[in-house]
Chain A
Amino acid sequence: MRRYSSDWYWYYAINYTLVIIIIFPIYWTLISSFKKPSELITSEPTFYPHDLTLQYYDQIWNFDRLKRLQDTETEDSDSSGVEIESKFRLDGEGVKRPFINSAIVSAGTIILTIIVCTFGGYALTVLKTPLKNFFFLLVILPILIPGISLIIPLYKLLKDLGLTNSHLGLILIHTCGMLPLGIFMMRNAFNSIPSSLREVAMLEGSSELKIITSVMLPLAIPGLLTVMVFAMYVSWNDYIYAFIFINSPENTMLNISLMKIALGGSQFEMKWGSLTAGSIVSFLPIIIFYTFLQQYFVRGVTGSAVKE
Chain B
Amino acid sequence: MNRLRKEQLVGLLMVSPALILLAVFFLYPLVNSFYMSFHKWPLFGKPKWVGLDNYIFMFQDERFWESLKFTFVYTLTVTPMLFVVALGTALLCNAKAWGTTFFRSIYFLPVVMSFATASYVWLWLYSEMYGVIIYALEFFGFGGEKKNLNVWKTGTSSMWAVNAMVTWKFSGIQMIILIAGLQAIRDDYYEASKLMGASRWQTIWNVTLPLLRPSIALALILSIAGSIQAYEQFVIMTRGGPSNSTKTLVMHTVDMGFDYFKLGPAASLGVIIMIILFILTVIQLRLFRKNY
A interface residues (Cβ-Cβ under 8 A, vs B): 1-2, 8, 11-12, 14-15, 18-19, 21-23, 25-26, 28-29, 32, 40-43, 45, 115-117, 119-120, 122-124, 127-130, 132, 135, 138-139, 141-146, 148-157, 172-173, 175-176, 179, 183, 208, 233, 236-240, 243-244, 255, 258-259, 262, 268, 272, 275-276, 278-279, 282-283, 286-287, 289-290, 294, 297-298, 301-302, 305-308
Residue in A1, A41, A276, A282 whose beta carbon sits within 8 Å of that of B114 in the complex: A282
Residue in A14, A15, A139, A145 whose beta carbon sits within 8 Å of that of B22 in the complex: A139
Q: Which residues of A contact B57 (CB under 8 A)?
A: none
Residue in A129, A149, A179, A276 whose beta carbon sits within 8 Å of that of B8 in the complex: A129
Given contacts A142-B26, A305-B177, A306-B288, contact A119 B15 (CB under 8 A): yes
- Shortest Cβ distance from B265 into chain A, in angstroms? 10
Assess the B232–A240 pair: CB atoms within 8 A: yes
- Shortest Cβ distance from A269 into chain B, in angstroms? 9
Interface residues of A, dominant DSSP: helix
Residue in B200, B263, B277 whose beta carbon sits within 8 Å of that of A156 in the complex: B263
Q: List 16 A-B pairs, Cβ < 8 Å.
A: A18-B92, A22-B168, A42-B130, A116-B21, A123-B15, A130-B11, A143-B281, A150-B30, A153-B32, A262-B120, A279-B121, A286-B113, A302-B173, A307-B284, A307-B285, A307-B288
Chain B 35-89 residues near chain A, CB threshold 8 A = 36, 89
Interface residues of B, dominant DSSP: helix
Assess the B121–A144 pair: CB atoms within 8 A: no
Counted as pairs of residues, one from A and one from B, with CB atoms less than 8 Å apart, the total is: 266
Number of B residues contacting the other chain (C-beta, 8 Å)?
A: 87
Assess the B21–A25 pair: CB atoms within 8 A: no
B interface residues (Cβ-Cβ under 8 A, vs A): 4, 7-8, 10-15, 17-19, 21-22, 24-26, 28-30, 32-33, 36, 89, 92, 95-97, 99, 103, 105-117, 120-125, 127, 129-130, 132, 135, 168, 173, 176-177, 200, 218, 222, 225, 229, 231-232, 235-236, 250, 253-254, 257-258, 263, 266-267, 269-271, 273-274, 277-278, 281-282, 284-285, 288
Residue in B99, B112, B225 whose beta carbon sits within 8 Å of that of A297 in the complex: B112
Assess the A150–B270 pair: CB atoms within 8 A: yes
Given contacts A115-B17, A145-B30, contact A278 B120 (CB under 8 A): yes
Given contacts A1-B96, A244-B258, contact A32 B124 (CB under 8 A): yes
Cα distance A113–B30 when bound, in Å? 21
Assess the A175–B253 pair: CB atoms within 8 A: no
- Shortest Cβ distance from B163 into chain A, in angstroms? 15
- Shortest Cβ distance from B286 into chain A, in angstroms? 12
Assess the B28–A157 pair: CB atoms within 8 A: yes
Residue in B109, B112, B130 whose beta carbon sits within 8 Å of that of A41 in the complex: B130
Given contacts A22-B106, A145-B30, contact A151 B36 (CB under 8 A): no
Cα distance A131–B122 when bound, in Å? 49
Q: Which residues of A contact B225 (CB under 8 A)?
A: 146
Assess the B17–A259 pair: CB atoms within 8 A: no
Assess the B114–A155 pair: CB atoms within 8 A: no
Assess the A239–B116 pair: CB atoms within 8 A: yes
- Shortest Cβ distance from B31 into chain A, in angstroms? 8
Q: Which residues of B contact A29 (CB under 8 A)?
A: 121, 124
Q: Which residues of B contact A116 (CB under 8 A)?
A: 17-18, 21
Knowing that A138-B19, A141-B26 touch, tell me 7 more A-B residue pairs with CB under 8 angstroms. A26-B113, A139-B19, A148-B231, A150-B29, A153-B30, A179-B21, A302-B173
